[in-house]
Each structure stands twice: as C-alpha cells, then as structure tokens.
Amino acid sequence: MLLYIRYEIKRILISRKAKLAILLMFIMTVVMTVNNYNLSKKEDVYGKVYLEESLNSLKIYEWVLNLDKNRGNIYKDEHECHEVINQWKSIIKTGLQAEQDHDWEKYNEMNLLNAIYEYRLAQNYKPQNTYDYKYYTKYNKEVDDIIKKRNLSYINVPDLKHDTEELDVLNNPDLSVSPFMDAQYYARLFDKLLDKNLAPINHYKVDSVSIIFQTLQNLVPLYGILVICLLAFDSISYDKETGTIKNLLCIPNMRNYYIFAKTIANSIVAFLVIMLPAALLSLCFGLYDKYQMLFYPTLYFKDGLTSFHLSFNNIEVMEKMVENGTLYSSFHYNGLIRHSLYGGDRASWTAGRSPDMSLDYISLGKFLILAMIVFILFVIFINSMIMCIHTFVNSKIIGLSMSLLICILGYITTPVSNTSPVYQFHPFSYKTATEVIAGTSSYPFLTGVCLLTVLILVFQALTGLKLKKKDI
C-alpha cells in the first residue's frame, strides 16, 4: 500500500496539471504577499490606536476637571488628578514617538504602562449591571503578577471620573466593562512582547511565519478547495481512462486498500500543491528573520480545544451596524487575528476592540500546528467526498460538476458570520482553519475534528461498499 501511495504521489506531482496548479498557487501566494506587504505599510501596528484613544480619554477627563472647577466644584484630589493625567500623557506620547522611531522595545514598554494605568482606573469602577464580574476579570491575576514582576506597584490612579451631566458616556455600563477587558489583554500581550523582544504587528504582517497563516486564511477557503477538487478528479479520471483501476482491483485484497491509499495520496498532493509555494517563501523570509514570529502571542479559542462550547460571535450584527453607519468596521484585529467584540446590554460598541474573554494567548507556532490539523482533516474530507461521488457516478462530467457544485455551495453557505448552532455540523464551517482556532468562527476545534473525522470514515465506508459490489 505504501508503495502505491508513493507511486501515486510521484505520478500526480510530475503531471502537467499538478505543475500548473503549483505555478498558479505560487503566483497567487506571491500576489497575496506583495499586497499584504503594501497594506502593512499603511496600517498601524497593533497598540497605536489604543494609545491614541487613551490620550483622547485623558483629554476628556482633563476637560471634565476644568469644567467642574469653573462651576465651583473643588475636589480634594484635584491636584493629584492633574498630576496623574500629565504623567500618563507623557507615557502615551513617548509610546507614540517610539512607534515613529521604530523603537519597539520602548513602544512595548509604554503600551504596557498605559495598560496598567487603564487597569488601575478600571479597578475603581466595577460594572454595576448584569454582567458576571468574575468572568470579565478572569485574567486579573495575570496582570497583578505582571505588576509585581516589573515592579509597577507604584502606579496608582485617583478618581478621574467626577460627577457631571455633560458626559453620559462615562456612565455607560457597556463601557464600564471594556476597560477591564482591554487592559487585561493589552497588559498581557505587551508583557509577552517585552519578554520575547518582539515588535508589535498588524494583521497584514509579512514574515516567515505569518505567510503560512495568510495562506490558510486567504487562499485555502476558496482557491484551495478548487485545487483539491480538480486534482482529485484528474487522479480518479486517470485511473478510469487508463484502465489502472481494473488492474489494481484485480489484485487480492486491493479493493480494501485502494480507497484509503488513493485518498491519502490525493490529500498529500493537494497539501503540497497548496502549501509548497508558501513554504518556499517562508524559507526565504526565514533566512532573514530567523522565524522569531513563531513565539508571537496570538489569540485563540482555548475552550474550543477541550469542549464543544461555541465561541462568542457577533460579526453579523457588526456588519449590519456598518451598513447603517453606526460602526466604522466589522473587522477588529489583535495582531493577525480577527475577532468579534464582546456583547453588551446596550450594544454601544464604542469600546472598540475588546475580544470576548473566552480567548487567550498562545504562541503563533502552536496556533499554526492546531490550524494545520484542521486543514489536513478538511483536505482528506474533500478527497474522501469526491472519491465517493466518482465511485457512485459513472459520468466524469457529472461527477466533476457535482463535486464543484457541492464545494462552491459549501463555501457560500458558511460565512464566518454564521452563529446558529446547527452550522457546527456543516463541514465547510471549518474551511478556514485559522478562524476556527482563533474563535472568529463560532464553532470549536474539537467539534470540527470530530465532525470531519466521522465524515471521512463515512465516505470511506460508502465508497468501499460500492467498490466491493461493483463489476470492474
């Protein structure tokens, strides 16, 4: 069986169609990489917006203090408040200057300090609403440990939110939650970046590791599926047209092994055709950056690895808000990862970037290993399905048409905005492996692995039963 798998892989790879497929994937990978590189030059690195919004908040707090002073409202900690605001502003301005100078160590340090200030401020204002306070402060211990580790206990924030009717936004319960979430994620991220001496990135980052991520994210869901379909069809048609399948199935017990061996061979070829261009470019970039980004902290849906719990997803709601002009974008990123925002009783969304608290950090290298597991299973699933279709359908044109139609419909019917629990049983919900691991998709890793494995076994069994009865 192993000899046959090796023979099939070699035969398909040296074929003109496989070489053409590799060339086309290489061109698309290069185009994607160049486009991302150009976009990365225009996009801010992660954390800059957070600094700018913190600076704007401080200006509001300062305005509130001056407003109250003009009204004759004098607070005993007024001098202390102004002092804190000035110190905090200085940290933010230093961070923004460091970003311009590409001094990433200083930038990470200032972002961490800003996050600790936000964290201290948020501690003074526990949300007075229906939220589970424990849930929204689940990473507080880690932040406290960071404060101890880096000797930041000196940071203390007085009451900056004075009573005023001018700023109703300060009393918004949705916003009262967001600082807890923002501060925890930012403090933990920039602490890790400082430890690993890594520069912050945006979601268009081009390097030896992110190119693998971008390929799985942008090329596989559509182009990858089409490549898998066409290569599998060509391989099966070759066996039928040349009479190879007749000779093979006449060998004793070969009918028991042919389906499995053919599926594995086709899946390996599809994997190589899709990922080889990205792997070659990764090697080229790796000579320059030494694969440092393998250690970049990346958000992932932790509970999805060990449970069947669905992740929080409100992208569909956000997209509607973009359409009616109440939200500027439904795309929110933490580095490479696209995520949806937390919910909220009033759904104000003005908090900006806060991911749901079910997400945690993992190294990008481990993230990609998990994503590869989903991707490989998805490739085997597609090949098993196509093998089954072509076993039951004698006409190659009808078989190809059915295969392409199913794959295209599967792609169309599974946008990332799907939130219905029923879609977790749709195999094409797992076409974008990175979104599954990141929790961008609603459906967990464990569900995807179990579903795809079961479907592979079902298609293999159906194909085997048909072949046993088929008169070759």
Task: For 107-135, write each residue's pLDDT tens digit.
Answer: 999 999 999 998 988 877 665 554 566 77
Say which residue, 45 or 344, is predicted with more confidence.
45
Specify whether 111 is located in the same domain as 245: no
Higher pLDDT, 31 or 65: 31
Segment 279-335, tens digit of pLDDT = 999 999 999 999 999 999 999 999 999 999 998 887 877 778 778 877 667 778 889
The predicted structure's pLDDT at residue 131: 54
List, in sequence order, the alpha helices (H) in 290-363.
315-323
Mark whether 160 and 224 lie in a shared domain.
no
Q: Which of 200, 234, 268 is the last residue of a domain?
A: 200
CA distance 273 to 277: 8
* 383 is a domain residue: yes
Name the 3-class secondary structure at 403.
Answer: helix
Question: Rounded CA gap, 403 and 417, in Å?
Answer: 25
Residues 385 and 245 in one domain: yes
The total of structural domains in the chain comes to 2
Tokens of 180: 């807890």
Report yes or no on 350 lying in a domain.
Answer: no
On the question of pLDDT at 169 being above 50, the answer is no
Query: Which pLDDT value is given to residue 180?
Result: 79
| C-alpha span between 12 and 4 (Å, rounded) | 12
**What is the residue-averaged pLDDT of the chain?**
86
Task: State whether 57 and 36 are in the same domain.
Answer: no
For residue 276, list its beta bridge partners.
Answer: none
* Residues 428, 285 within the same domain: yes
Q: Are residues 222 and 245 in the same domain?
A: yes
Which range is least confidently modeled, 6-15, 333-342, 418-427?
333-342
How much is the average pLDDT of 168-172? 49
Whole-angstrom Cα distance, residue 300 to residue 363? 9
Q: What is the pLDDT of residues 339-369, one digit of tens each?
A: 876 654 434 444 445 788 889 999 999 999 9
Under 8 Å between Cβ of 384 and 455: yes
Pairwise CA distance, residues 192 & 96, whole Å: 19
pLDDT > 70 fraction of the chain, expressed in percent and rounded: 86
- Alpha carbons 371 and 393: distance in angstroms, whole number: 33
321: in domain: no
Tokens 């501690």 appear where? 123
Q: How far apart are CA 462 and CA 255, in angstroms?
A: 13
Instruction: Answer for the pair 145, 180: CB distance below 8 angstroms, yes or no.
Output: no
Q: Please tell me whether residues 190 and 68 are part of one structural domain.
A: yes
Q: Would residue 302 count as lying in a domain?
A: no
Higher pLDDT, 408 or 71: 408
| Residue 342 lies inside a defined structural domain of this protein | no
Tell me, yes or no, whether 145 and 111 share the same domain: yes
Quote the distance between the C-alpha of residue 162 and its chain's center: 39
Instruction: Please give the C-alpha separations between residue 346 and each of 40, 81, 124, in angstroms, as whole numbers.
Output: 34, 30, 22
Q: What is the CB neighbour count within 10 angstroms for residue 192?
A: 18
> What confidence tens digit (pLDDT) does each residue in 364-390 have?
999 999 999 999 999 999 999 999 998
Asked whether residue 346 is assigned to any structural domain, the reply reads no
Cα radius of gyration (the chain): 27
Q: What is the DSSP string of 230-259?
A: HHHHHHHHHHHHHTHHHHHHTSTTHHHHHH
172 vs 39 pLDDT, higher one:
39
Three-state DSSP at 191 gives helix
User: Do 55 and 37 have their domain in common?
Assistant: no
Domain span holding position 415: 2-41+205-294+365-469
Task: Provide CB contacts within 8 A for 308, sequence distance 6+.
Answer: 424, 444, 446, 447
Domain contains 103: yes
156 and 276 belong to one structural domain = no
Q: Are 364 and 209 within 8 A, CB to CB?
A: yes
Residue closest to 372 by CA, chosen among 436, 284, 303, 458: 436
In the block, tokens 């008169």 appear at 471
Residue 351: its pLDDT value, please?
43
Residue ending a domain, choose from 176, 200, 224 = 200
Q: How many CB atoms lie within 10 A of CB 395?
A: 10
How far apart CA 425 and CA 343 sit, in angstroms, is 25
**Is the per-residue pLDDT at 249 higher than 70?**
no
- Write the CA distances from 267 to 234, 256, 275, 435, 466, integer angstroms: 13, 18, 12, 22, 21
pLDDT in tens, 207-245: 999 999 999 999 999 898 999 998 888 888 877 777 777
- Residue 287 domain-assigned? yes
* Boundary residue ending a domain (166, 200, 234): 200
Which tens digit of pLDDT belongs to each residue from 431-452?
999 999 999 998 999 999 999 9
Same domain assignment for residues 388 and 442: yes
Residues 160 and 215 in one domain: no
